[in-house]
Structures are given as C-alpha cells and as structure tokens.
Amino acid sequence: MNTTINNPVIPCVMSLPGGRLQQGNLIVIHGQPTYNSNRFGINLLHQGNMQCVFHFDARFDQGQTVRNTNFPSSSWGPEERSTLPFAKNRHFFMEIRCLPDRFSITVDGNHHCEYIHRVSYSEANTLQITGDVQVSMIEFRSANTFPTFPSSNRLNVAYPPLPFASLINGPLSVGNEIQVHGQVKPHPNRFHINLQQGCQSYPHPTMVFHFNPRYEGGQRTIVMNSFIGSWGSEQRVAVPRNLLPGNNFVLAIRRQPSYFEVSVNGSVIATYNHRIAADMVDSVSIDGDVIIHKVVAY
C-alpha cells in the first residue's frame, strides 16, 4: 500500500491503493488549514454510494472535530467530538491508523482520538478530502512493515523500510549510542527518531527521547521532547547544515550520565537532559521524510 500523492487539488476523491482499506493501513495527511478556514473534512467512503465508513470533520466554527458514519444507510449515527487540534494557517500532519476494532487518529504526533468501527473497515475503498484546507502530501502506508527485530545480538539494520521500529537488544548504558545513517529527502516536512520503551506505536509508548527536525512552512527547527503519559515541554534548536534537505548525515545519540548528546557528522548539535530513567530505552523508532541507510546500536 506504500503510495505517495503530492499536492492534490482540493476537493479530491481517490481510490485507496490495494482496492480497499485493510487492517494495519496508515494514511498520513500533510496539510494546512487556510487562513480563513471554517471547516474541512476527511472521509473514508464506500465508492458504490459515496457514503462514509468514517467521517472526520474539523470545525473551526465550533472549535471541535466531529466523527460519524452514515454507511450503509444514508442516516448519520451519533456524533463523537473532541477539541480541535488544528490552527488556521498552521501546518499539520495527521495519521489515521486502521486497527482491528477502531481507527486511531494522531495529529502532529499527539494522540487525538479513537473511533470504534461501526461497520467493517473493509467497506472503505475511497479517500475524500474537502473544505478549507491545502494538502501538500498524502501517504498511504502499511503498518505491517514494523516492528522489526534485530537478527543479531545488537541492532544493525541496513536500508529498513519506514516506518521502522526495533528492539536494540541490550541496554542503552552510559557511553552507548544509536547511530542513524541516512539522507533527508529533498522536500521534507519533518521526520523523527525516538528512543522509547517498546516497539509498538499503539498504545502510545513511553518516549524517553523524541528527536524531531521540522521543515514545513520554511521551518528549520529541531524539536526535542519526552512522552511520559503526555508530552512535556519542548526544547528546540536550529537544524544544522548537515540536516538540510537533500543532505546525507550520520546522526548519533549518545547516552551520557544525565543527558543525551546528539551529534551530526561528528559535531555536537544538542544535549537533552534525562526526564525519566534512560534505562527504560529498549527500542528505537524512525519515520518521516528521510531515507535510512543504516541503524546501529553501539
């Protein structure tokens, strides 16, 4: 299912790769509400009657998102609502993950809501996006590509598909480091490298260290944070030259006694104080607008 659509014209209607939605499929939408946005909708439809297996409506006029279903009849069921996570004229990336019993939705890496399937997800074969939003990219992925696991005593993986998650096989002790060899894509929005407890993406794992270069909207900022039940305060540094779009890099995250030290091509670019015991780190996950050549745990 791994397919990318760039700069679709809104409103858009497109068939899902593979012909229908399947368990483990992940849809990632990179976009920006217009400066005067009132509402925009993201729908998973049954093409036969263009009714919604899953309807997601962002309503700036109400400050909420609304989810619903009107398939197989044309009648809407009870609405489910949450506080709006979007801002007008601000870039976002939204992930819709198809789990066995529900959809899981995250916005900018933060869990937003869940929606229990009211009909079989396999009835959805079409994606529709409408309303006051500009979309730069739509990614269709298969989450079945992860987690993966090291085949030797210590993580050493070449050219893994993304999204990638793996146990590092052994503790990340003081002096140990994770090295990521790769290349930033030519037109990136963002990518992330997480040192975390457990390989899963759902439920949200404890992230001891979240490293997130962001480029969308002209940004060149690295956001660092931890997820310990919820996100903490962000720490930011500028994106260095070696992490600019199109550049190759060797990024190392080394554990020091009280902080992580991040270097790119041998130069230290940031430090990040431990907010929770670093002994909890047993896995690394990577995703986003980056090509990975190698991931090694030393």
pLDDT of residue 28: 92
pLDDT of residue 284: 95
Q: Which SS3 state, helix, strand or coil, does residue 280 take?
A: helix
Peptide linkage before 78 cis (omega within 30 of 0): no
pLDDT of residue 145: 46
The fold of 3-143 is Jelly Rolls (2.60.120)
Give the Cα separation of 79 and 65 in Å (integer). 10
Q: Are 214 and 222 in contact (CB under 8 A)?
A: yes
Q: How many residues does the chain have?
A: 298
How far, in Å, are 93, 120, 224, 257, 276 from residue 260 at the CA level? 27, 45, 11, 8, 12
Report the side by side order of strands in the sheet with 259-264.
Answer: 156-158, 290-297, 177-184, 248-255, 259-264, 267-273
Residue range 101-152, pLDDT digits in tens: 899 898 887 778 989 999 999 999 999 999 999 999 999 987 654 455 555 5
pTM: 0.64
Would residue 151 be called left, alpha or beta, if left means φ above 0 and alpha means ψ between -120 and 50 degrees?
Answer: alpha
Tokens of 189: 């929005």
pLDDT of residue 148: 53
Question: What architecture is domain 146-297?
Answer: Sandwich (2.60)
Q: Are 133 and 29 in contact (CB under 8 A)?
A: no
Helix, strand, coil tally for the chain in percent (to 5): 5, 55, 40
Report residue 290 CA to chain centroid gap.
13
Tell me the mean pLDDT per 10 residues along the chain, length 298.
Answer: 87 93 91 96 91 97 96 91 94 91 86 92 96 94 58 79 87 94 92 92 87 91 95 96 95 97 96 96 92 93
Q: Which SS3 state, helix, strand or coil, does residue 274 take?
A: coil
Buried b (16+ CB within 10 A) or exposed e, 143-179: bebbbbebeeeebbbeebebbbbbbbbeebeeebbbb
Strands 25-33 and 133-142: antiparallel
Buried b (16+ CB within 10 A) or exposed e, 252-280: bbbbeeeebebbbeeeebbebebebebeb
- At 280, give phi and psi (nearest 5°): -70, -20
Report residue 278 CA to chain centroid gap.
23
Beta partners for residue 183, in sequence order: 248, 291
pLDDT of residue 12: 96
Task: Kindly report, as residue ranges, where domains of CATH 2.60.120.200 are found in the chain.
Answer: 3-143, 146-297
Strands 221-227 and 235-238: antiparallel
Single-letter code of the amino acid located at 53: V
